Amino acid sequence: MIASLPMYWRSENAVAWQQYWHRVQANATSLGLPPLTAPENLPISWYDHWLRADLILSQTCGLPFRTKLKGKVAYVTTPDFGLSDCAPGHYCSVALRRKGQQDGWRLARNADDSQSGWAAALDYLTTQHRDAYSQIIDTGAHAASAHAVADGHADIACVDAVTWRLIQQHDDVASTLEVVASTRPTPALPLITSLDQNPDPLRIALRAGLADTPEEDRQAMGGLRGFVDLSPEDYFRVPLPATD
């Protein structure tokens, strides 16, 4: 079996995520949960990880969950990070620009299969009464998109609001950026398991592990408050973005 919680894992908070998982394991000894695999040790294509038959737990993005992973993985639960103006178990993106720079439409995008970096960016575009970005620069990660805007290689980026919290905690580049808008909330990044696994014991263990987690570690992990059991249909109802 293999498990990972890669989405908000950074070198600065890796220990907090690992300690949380140890608490989950302690509350689910009958499941024989494996150690967490760090993001840097996952395959280059995370789909190869998410689609493994022996996947016990991982976290994906809402867009892959309703496209390439639809019907191929089982939904477990959704982390809740207590974001302002978002319902429990939901999140949004923040549109970032350099401080004092309000023009230009070159978009820094983490990936074309990202709900928060691409689908949300298209949604934001419609609120600005624009048809397209003047250029799309793929960066591979939200933090890299923030750096691209700060360095002047791009004009704007839409970044997952929880990731933005972590960037503010750890990256000096945050001081050069400002939030110009928040996008419409959608269901947050779901936890998944293989179709062969029973999600119910995992839900119980995840909550029990969090109950034993100190506030300092929760904040280090991005402000994890709890878990919300949504429905896969909540994700599938979100419109798919246009292909570029």
Residues 31, 26: Cα–Cα separation, whole Å: 10
Report which DSSP code applies to 117.
I
Region 155-182: mean pLDDT is 97
β-bridge partners, 186: 91
Report whether 199 contacts 193 (CB < 8 A).
yes
Q: Do domains 2-83+188-236 and 93-184 have the same CATH topology?
A: yes
Residue-level pLDDT at 98: 98
Residue-level pLDDT at 242: 78
Region 82-89: mean pLDDT is 97
Checking if the pLDDT of 244 tops 70, the result is no
Mean pLDDT over each residue of the chain, to the nearest integer: 97
Which residues have C-beta within 8 Å of that of residue 114, sequence separation ≥ 6? Answer: 61, 63
β-bridge partners, 94: 159, 182
The secondary element (H helix, E strand) that includes residue 191 is: strand 191-194
Answer positive or negative: Cα dihedral of 95, 98, 103, 105. Answer: negative
Dmax (CA) for the chain in angstroms is 56
Region 171-177: mean pLDDT is 96
- Calculate the dihedral angle through the C-alpha atoms of 63, 74, 219, 238, rounding to the nearest 10 degrees: 30
Here the tokens at position 85 are: 């103006």
Task: Name the residue type at position 75.
Answer: Y
Residue-level pLDDT at 237: 96
Nearest of 64, 91, 80, 120 to residue 185 by alpha carbon: 91
Select from 3.40.190.10, 1.20.1250.20, 3.10.25.10, 1.10.275.10 the CATH code of 93-184. 3.40.190.10
Q: Enumerate the domain spans of the chain.
A: 2-83+188-236, 93-184
User: In the block, which residue shows the tokens 């994700």?
Assistant: 235
Report which DSSP code applies to 8.
T
Give the tens place of pLDDT for each residue, 115-126: 999 999 999 999
Which residues have C-beta within 8 Å of that of residue 152, sequence separation ≥ 6? Answer: 98
The secondary element (H helix, E strand) that includes residue 50 is: helix 46-50
Give the tens place of pLDDT for each residue, 104-160: 999 999 999 999 999 999 999 999 999 999 999 999 999 999 999 999 999 999 999
Region 14-37: mean pLDDT is 96
Region 5-16: mean pLDDT is 98
Report the percent of the chain where pLDDT is more than 90. 98
Region 66-75: mean pLDDT is 98
Residue-level pLDDT at 146: 98
Report whether 65 contacts 238 (CB < 8 A).
no
CATH of domain 2-83+188-236: 3.40.190
Here the tokens at position 16 are: 């907090």
Report whether 149 contacts 94 (CB < 8 A).
no
